[in-house]
Structure 1
C-alpha cells in the first residue's frame, strides 16, 4: 500500500515504546516541527495537499477566535532529533456548556505507521484531558465540528477537496487498537454537475416560490454583514445536529476573512420568507487543486501559479446547506439548489463536478436530495471516542 511505503521512507528506525519521547510544543521551533511534519510524512503521497504555512501559523495563533473559549496543547512524538508524530489536546468549553458533557478532543493527529507512536500520543492526550476533568476523548477534530473532523475511512483513491481531511488508512486501525469506538460517520457525495435538475426538484422549487420563498446571492460589497446573516441561520438550523457548537461573531468574521478571496459571485445564496432569512447555501471552488501547486509557500512566484491554476479548477464543494427548522420540508432546499446550479451553468462552465460534504450518516433527507440529482456516496469519514 502506498501509504505504508511513504511512512516507512521517513526515519532510519521505528521507535519502540521505551524510547519514544512526547514533547510539548512551547517554542517557535517546536511549532515549526508541528506544522511541517505532514510535509515530511506525505512527501511521496501524490494525493496530499499541502496547506499554506502562513494559514497554519495563523490558525495556531491567538488570532484564531477559537481560543477565546477553548484551549489546546500541542505534542510531538520524538526520538532524538527526529519527529515521528504529533497531536493536539483540546478542551472546548463551549461544546461542554452546550451539550452539558465533559468531552475533550484530540486533533491534528499524524503518525508514522507504528502503533507505539500513536499510542504514546493518545496516552498523552488522555492524561491531559483527565487532568482537565474530562471523562471522554473524541476526535479527530481540527479544532471542532466547524472545521475539518474525522479520519478518512473510505475513498482513498480520490484527492481531498477544500477543507476536508486526508490520512492513511492505518489511522483507523490505530483507533480500534487503542480501544476507540465509532461515534459518528460523516458522508461525502459527488456527481457531475447536472445540465438540468430532476423534474421533481424543479417542481418543489416552484411550490416554494409560490409560498413566498425567494433566493438571492450574497452582496460581495457587504460580505462581512452577509456572513452575520449566515451566522444566525447556521446557529438556528444546525443547533440540533450532532456535535453542533454555536458559531460566534468573532469566528464569523474570521471565517469571512479566510473565505472571501475564493468566493464566487452567485454561489453563496440566502433564502428569505418575507424579510426573514430562513436558509443558506454555500458552494466554493476546490482550491486544493491550486494549493497543491503552491506547496505551502506564499510568494510572488506561487501567487502567479495560483492565478494560473485557479482557472483550471474543475470541482466545487457544497459545504453549507442549512434551513431553519420551521421552514424545512417546504422546498427551500430545492429552490436553493435550482438557483445555485443555474448560476454555475450560466457563469462557471469550467466546473464539471460538485462534492456535497459533509453529511451526517443519519441525515437521510439531505442524502436523498443529493442522490436525487445523481450524486453517489464516495467517501466516509469517521469520528471516534473512548471513555477516559
Structure 2
C-alpha cells in the first residue's frame, strides 16, 4: 500500500512555483484514475455516484436528487459566492469507484485559527470510495489540489459548508438519519486515518423520548420563567417570514460567533436558506424568545421529512411530488429534529440563557407530540466541548445516538 501511494504521489506534477497540481487524469499502476469534474454532466455523474454508494447502506434515506444537484452547482448554491471547489471522480477498469470534493471557503480563511479554521485551511468532502486504495488516491488528489491553491491544512469531511453536512458518521449506523444529517459506512474512518488524518473535532446528536414530559427540575425552571413578566416565548410568525428569518439569523451569527468552526451566513445564504426551509417550518415547532420585547434567543425544529423521502425514494417525479405535498400539508412524523438554537452571546453562561432554552424546548415538545404525534426527538449536532448545550441535553435526559468526526491533516 505504501509503495502504491508513493507511486501515486509521484504522479502529481509540479507547476513553475513548485506547488503540486492535479493533472486532468491520474492513473496508477493498478489503473485507478482520478478525473476532475469540469461541467454539468460531470456534476450529475458526481451526485449519482454518491447516491449509488449510499444506496448500499442499511437505513439510508434517499434525499431529493434535485436538491443534491443544486448544492454542487456554482450557479445555484450561494456557498460559491465566497468559496470554490473541485470535484473528482475515481475510475478503475472504466467504472466509477469513488468521489471526493476539495474546496476552499474565503470566509473560513478569514476566521481566527483558534476557532478551528483560519488561514491556510482547506476542506475535503463528498467522500465515497470502493476500497482503501481508491480512498487513498482520492484523498491524495484532494490534498494536491488544496496544496496547489496555497493551503497548508486539510479538514473534513465537510460537504460543502459547516452548515450543510459536517463530519463522518463513526457511530450510529444502526438507525436511519434524521433530516439533513449524513449517513456513512463505519469503515471510511479507518481509510481516512490510514491516509494520515487525525481527529480535529467530534460532533454528537442526542435523542430522547418526547412522548412524556421533561424531568421535574426542568418543569420547575420552565414554570419560573413563565411567571417572569419580562420573558415572552412566542412562535415564529410565517406571515412576517422575511423579518423572522432575519431575526433568527442575526441571533445565530452572534450566538455562534465564538464557536469552533463558525463561519457567518451571508445575506445570499440567508435568502437561500429561508426559501428552502420555509415548506418544513411549522409555526408551532419554532420559537423565538424575547426579554422585555427584544428577541434574544431562538430554537428551530424540523419534522423528520426523511419519513416521506424514504417512501418516494428521493424522487419527486412522476408521483413523488403528490406524496410530498400531502405530507407537508399534514405531517405525522415519528421524529423531530432540533438542528439549531442560539442565545445572544451577552447572555451566555447566565441562568437566563438555560431557562430560555428549557422554555422553548418544552413548548416545542408539547406541540411535537400533542399536535404532530411525534414520539422521538433529536438535538444536534452539538460540539463535544460545548458545555452549555451538553448540559442542557443531559438535563432533559437525552442520550448520544450518533457521533461524527471531522478530521485534519497538515499538508506541509
- Fold-level match, TM-score > 0.5? yes
Deviates further, 35-44 or 251-260:
35-44
**Separation in 1, partners of 2:30, 2:41:** 25
**Judging changes above 3 Å, is the alpha-carbon distance between structure 1 residues 101 and 207 closer, same or farther for their aligned structure 2 residues?**
farther
Note the C-alpha offset of 1:153. Answer: 0.8
Name the residue aligned to 1:151: 168
Name the residue aligned to 1:326: 346
Note the C-alpha offset of 1:63. Answer: 1.5
Deviates further, 86-95 or 33-42:
33-42
For the 8 Å contact 1:228–1:249, the answer to whether it is kept is no
Note the C-alpha offset of 1:290. Answer: 1.3
For the 8 Å contact 1:17–1:117, the answer to whether it is kept is no
1:73 correspondence with 2:86: yes
**Separation in 1, partners of 2:239, 2:366:** 22
Name the residue aligned to 2:269: 251
For the 8 Å contact 1:289–1:309, the answer to whether it is kept is no
The match for 2:225 among 168, 189, 208 is: 208
1:193 correspondence with 2:193: no
Note the C-alpha offset of 1:280. Answer: 0.8
Name the residue aligned to 2:334: 314
1:95 correspondence with 2:113: no
**Separation in 2, partners of 1:370, 1:194:** 16
Residue 283 of structure 2 aligns to a residue in which SS?
coil
TM superposition score normalised by structure 1: 0.91
Name the residue aligned to 1:45: 57
Note the C-alpha offset of 1:246. Answer: 0.7
1:302 correspondence with 2:320: yes
**Separation in 1, partners of 2:54, 2:371:** 36
**Separation in 2, partners of 1:58, 1:41:** 19
Deviates further, 121-130 or 270-279:
270-279
**Separation in 2, partners of 1:212, 1:203:** 17
Name the residue aligned to 1:22: 34
Name the residue aligned to 2:381: 358
Correspondence list, 1:117-128, <5 A: 117-128=134-145
For the 8 Å contact 2:55–2:62, the answer to whether it is kept is no
**Judging changes above 3 Å, is the alpha-carbon distance between structure 1 residues 272 and 21 closer, same or farther for their aligned structure 2 residues?**
same
For the 8 Å contact 1:293–1:306, the answer to whether it is kept is no
Query: What is the number of equivalent residue pairs in this alignment?
Result: 372
Deviates further, 34-43 or 165-174:
34-43
Deviates further, 64-73 or 80-89:
80-89
Name the residue aligned to 1:11: none
Cα distance per residue 1:78-110 (max 9 Å; x no partner) = 124310000111100100102242100001111
Note the C-alpha offset of 1:115. Answer: 1.1
**Separation in 2, partners of 1:222, 1:81:** 53
1:343 correspondence with 2:367: yes
Name the residue aligned to 1:380: 403
Note the C-alpha offset of 1:41. Answer: 2.1
RMSD (Å) for aligned C-alpha atoms? 1.8
Name the residue aligned to 1:284: 302
1:238 correspondence with 2:256: yes
Name the residue aligned to 2:43: 31
**Separation in 2, partners of 1:87, 1:256:** 28
**Separation in 2, partners of 1:278, 1:236:** 10
Residue 295 of structure 2 aligns to a residue in which SS?
strand
**Judging changes above 3 Å, is the alpha-carbon distance between structure 1 residues 19 and 283 closer, same or farther for their aligned structure 2 residues?**
same
Name the residue aligned to 1:224: 242
1:367 correspondence with 2:390: yes
Deviates further, 338-347 or 32-41:
338-347
**Judging changes above 3 Å, is the alpha-carbon distance between structure 1 residues 212 and 158 closer, same or farther for their aligned structure 2 residues?**
same
TM superposition score normalised by structure 2: 0.86
Cα distance per residue 1:198-221 (max 9 Å; x no partner) = 222222233334261211111111
Residue 98 of structure 1 aligns to a residue in which SS?
coil
**Judging changes above 3 Å, is the alpha-carbon distance between structure 1 residues 345 and 52 closer, same or farther for their aligned structure 2 residues?**
closer
For the 8 Å contact 2:204–2:402, the answer to whether it is kept is yes
For the 8 Å contact 2:50–2:99, the answer to whether it is kept is no
Name the residue aligned to 1:166: 183
Residue 111 of structure 2 aligns to a residue in which SS?
helix
**Separation in 1, partners of 2:376, 2:202:** 23
